[in-house]
Amino acid sequence: MSMLTLALFACGSREPHASGSTPGPASSTISAEPRTTNDGKASASPSPSALVNGDCNVIGDNNRLVCMTPLPQSRGRVSLAIHNVVTAFFSGTPDQLPTPPNYPLDAAQGHCDDWSEWLTGTDGIYLFDPSVGLTLEAGSDDLVVIKRVDVEVFRRVSAGSGTIIKCLYGGGSNLGYSITVDTLKTETRFEAFDSDETGRMPPASISLGNAGSESADIGISSPPGNLYEGSIKVSVIINNKPDVITIGTAQRPFRWHSGLVSGADPDGPKYDWHPLQERWVRDFDPFSVR
């Protein structure tokens, strides 16, 4: 099967969990040839030497200038961050919900980003239909390639009943590409939001070869009715250097809920933290907060 490579050109933003390198500029050395007297002996004056950063110019006689062209500074970078969280599943009753960080009143309609670390780092909380944002950045001389995206499952259990947490009211944003990892088929596919481009990774890859940035949304498709613990691994090549960026470890796994089950219907009762009352409330109205 032939390799399919997509060149992407757009704008994006920086996120955590990043990989990249930034080589510094090269420097140059100036040295002077030793001066000699009429009898052929070296002069007592020491030979000057200097480092040149920038223009390769030198003033004086009998100087030898070795000048190297500075290397362009690399902007090649790939980063991962939780994206578009709307609801989460807590494997307990409403009165057992753990206390979250409070959030500013102007974030009442959407505070999942404020809770990102709390949601992903608290035992018993699993994201519904999780989405991870992938951002590529490149300078004019960089080549950034996404070779593959994989999901490793550490643990799977039946979901059972629980409590739904909601922290976003309204739609999320679409990134440039959608990448879906099917854990049952062990297959990864992508498609563009603004074109008919699709592919299977591998052999297809996503690359950015011009100055700018691009983004993609990583989703997970798993058999429904289960709670999962695992990790998302993105294999990248930045300027011919391979690397793997990961969200989720054995010590702090990435947790997700794979779909609808009895007692965990996202269309059923939901709970959110009231920033003024500082308690969990059922069917929270974010527009009631002033």
Give percent of the chain above pLDDT 70: 70
Q: Which residue has the higher pLDDT, 76 or 100?
A: 100
Q: Are residues 66 and 156 in the same domain?
A: no
Q: Are residues 30 and 11 in the same domain?
A: no
Q: How confident is the model at residue 219 (pLDDT cuts 50, 70, 90)?
A: very high
Q: Are residues 63 and 42 in the same domain?
A: yes
Q: Give the pLDDT score at 3.
A: 37
Q: Are residues 112 and 242 in the same domain?
A: yes
Q: Are residues 38 and 113 in the same domain?
A: no
Q: Are residues 137 and 42 in the same domain?
A: no
- Count the Cβ atoms, other than its own, within 10 Å of residue 211: 13
Q: Are residues 178 and 45 in the same domain?
A: no
Residue type, 259: G
Q: How many domains does one find in the chain?
A: 2
Task: Please write the tens of the pLDDT for every residue from 174-215.
Answer: 678 899 999 999 999 999 887 788 899 999 998 888 888 888
Q: Are residues 56 and 104 in the same domain?
A: no
Say what the pTM is.
0.72
Q: Please, which residues bridge with residue 272 across strands?
A: 281
Which residue range is the domain that position 83 belongs to?
Answer: 5-16+74-288
Q: What is the rounded average pLDDT of the residues 216-228?
A: 92
Q: What is the rounded average pLDDT of the residues 112-126?
A: 93
Q: What is the mean pLDDT of the chain?
A: 79
> Is a pLDDT exceeding 50 seen at residue 247?
yes
Q: Are residues 134 and 39 in the same domain?
A: no
Q: Are residues 144 and 52 in the same domain?
A: no
Task: Please write the tens of the pLDDT for every residue from 42-55.
Answer: 454 445 544 444 55
The phi-psi region of residue 212 (left if phi > 0; otherwise alpha if psi is between -120 and 50; otherwise beta) is left
Q: Are residues 208 and 260 in the same domain?
A: yes
> Is a pLDDT exceeding 90 seen at residue 100?
yes
